């Protein structure tokens, strides 16, 4: 389970995490209870734009769930979901990204090269937060910061996700052919309300990881103390403070990102976009460059795209209007309200933010899987044969045809089971037994 080649005692998640409530949806996503809150996992996607679409579709499913809970509870009671990463009382819950990488890529190369991107990408992926949740650090020291997660990281590399959180997580469960793929489980990121921020977060990281796979991550940059650098970036609203590098020199987060972008430009020109997110990678690169250049000029110009900027603009307006300081509880309440999933109560929903996907596509995505990954087979089987499915996981499905034994279909290759592979087969089978017999033949 550990990318470093061993499985620490107690590494498996507790039973409550994986078995309490667990549903696989017709769009190929997984919707379940993780400890004390709902968690939505998107279906497998091939590019950042599709990830963004299914992230938005997941929001619609959560909104529908809140409406259903309100009707079930009655009496004016309701369950409210917030898409954020911190309760403001020292507790954090993650927004995890998962990338399949070539197993041949040495894990040490990932650690050496990806860390610098994860630390500095905070300048455009941060969701913003009032105050700091490190004990003893008040609003007089950190009145507002770029991210919600930086306070909670303590190590550079490690397996944990809920304590002693690492910048590079080593949990390696590819849910695919482990001889071919490794899974990079990224926990150092925020839950973005902004579609643009989600798209840029995933898209830029896909390009960086493609560069690492091909040994073309040109910037030879490493931080002397990565965890401290992570926090320093989050606490620096000027984006201009120098960060100490391992070789004794310094550079700002913007300078480091600019260097990575320059290397990415050369990489895509040489290798093309196939391994970096497809044609969408070119749009990502252009937006990535424009965003970093604008952040250097004036971050507030991105108040329609970047969450931490949009939220700060709202908070600054309230502070100016009411003459209140950062420590005022009303600002923390407004911070939380930014992430409210109720459309009529969300501060975010009242802003005119740049979008990546249209509403109709997101609505369709709440019910239908992407057509270019194995999520298509999973989702369509759940739609067509729901009563015959005993279990549905990322890498397999188990069917009951009404005749013993149960039949398992392995799905170890994420790009197989797409519409191109199985749509005609699914359309031509009226029963699950017919489908399985056809697959076996």
Q: Catalytic: 372? A: no
CA torsion sign, 155 to 161 to 167 to 172? positive
- Helix, strand, coil % over all residues of the chain, rounded to 5: 45, 15, 40
Let me know: does 242 contact 250? Beta carbons within 8 Å: yes
CA angle 428, 411, 413 (to 5 degrees): 110
Task: Sort 82 into a burial class: Cβ within 10 Å, 0-12 / 13-18 / 19+.
Answer: middle
With both helix axes pointing from N to C terminus, report the angle between 307-322 and 329-338 in degrees, rounded to the nearest 10. 150
Spot the catalytic one: 34, 55, 172, 236: 34
What pairing do the DSSP bridges indicate for beta strands 165-169 and 153-158?
parallel
Q: How far is CA 432 from the centre of its chain?
A: 34
Let me know: does 196 contact 187? Beta carbons within 8 Å: no
Report how far apart the first and last C-alpha atoms of the chain are (Å, whole number).
Answer: 34
* Nearest of 306, 271, 311 to residue 288 by alpha carbon: 306
Write out the catalytic residue numbers.
34
């Amino acid at each position: 389970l550990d990318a470093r080649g061993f499985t620490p005692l107690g590494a498996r998640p507790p039973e409550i995490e994986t078995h309490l409530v667990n549903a696989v949806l017709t769009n190929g996503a997984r919707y379940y209870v993780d400890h004390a809150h709902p968690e939505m996992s998107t279906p497998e996607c091939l590019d950042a734009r599709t990830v963004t679409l299914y992230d938005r579709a997941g929001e619609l499913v959560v909104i529908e769930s809140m409406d259903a809970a309100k009707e079930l509870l009655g009496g004016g009671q309701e369950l409210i979901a917030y898409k954020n990463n911190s309760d403001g009382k020292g507790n954090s819950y993650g927004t995890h990204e998962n990338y399949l990488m070539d197993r041949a890529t040495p894990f040490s190369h990932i650690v050496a090269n990806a860390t610098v991107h994860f630390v500095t990408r905070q300048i455009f992926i941060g969701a913003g937060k009032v105050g700091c949740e490190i004990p003893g650090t008040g609003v007089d020291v950190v009145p507002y910061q770029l991210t919600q997660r930086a306070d909670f990281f303590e190590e550079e590399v490690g397996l944990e996700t809920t304590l002693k959180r690492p910048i590079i997580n080593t949990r390696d469960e590819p849910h695919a052919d482990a001889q071919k793929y490794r899974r990079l489980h990224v926990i150092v990121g925020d839950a973005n309300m902004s579609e643009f921020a989600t798209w840029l977060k995933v898209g830029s990281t896909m390009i960086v990881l493609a560069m690492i796979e091909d040994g073309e991550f040109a910037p030879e940059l490493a931080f002397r103390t990565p965890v401290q650098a992570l926090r320093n970036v989050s606490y620096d609203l000027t984006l201009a403070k120098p960060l100490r590098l391992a070789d004794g020199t310094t550079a700002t987060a913007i300078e480091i990102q600019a260097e990575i972008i320059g290397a990415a430009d050369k990489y895509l020109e040489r290798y093309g976009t196939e391994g970096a997110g497809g044609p969408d990678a070119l749009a990502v690169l252009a937006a990535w460059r424009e965003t970093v250049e604008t952040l250097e000029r004036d971050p507030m110009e991105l108040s329609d795209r970047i969450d931490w900027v949009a939220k700060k603009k709202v908070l600054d307006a309230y502070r100016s209007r009411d003459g209140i300081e950062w420590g005022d509880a009303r600002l923390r309440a407004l911070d939380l309200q930014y992430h409210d999933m109720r459309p009529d109560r969300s501060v975010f929903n009242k802003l005119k933010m740049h979008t990546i996907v249209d509403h109709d596509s997101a609505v369709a995505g709440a019910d239908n899987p992407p057509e270019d990954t194995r999520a298509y087979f999973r989702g369509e089987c759940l739609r067509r044969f729901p009563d015959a499915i005993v279990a549905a996981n990322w890498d397999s499905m188990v069917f009951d045809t009404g005749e013993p034994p149960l039949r398992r279909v392995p799905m170890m290759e994420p790009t197989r089971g797409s519409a191109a592979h199985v749509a005609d087969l699914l359309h031509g089978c009226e029963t699950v037994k017919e489908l399985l017999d056809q697959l076996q033949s």
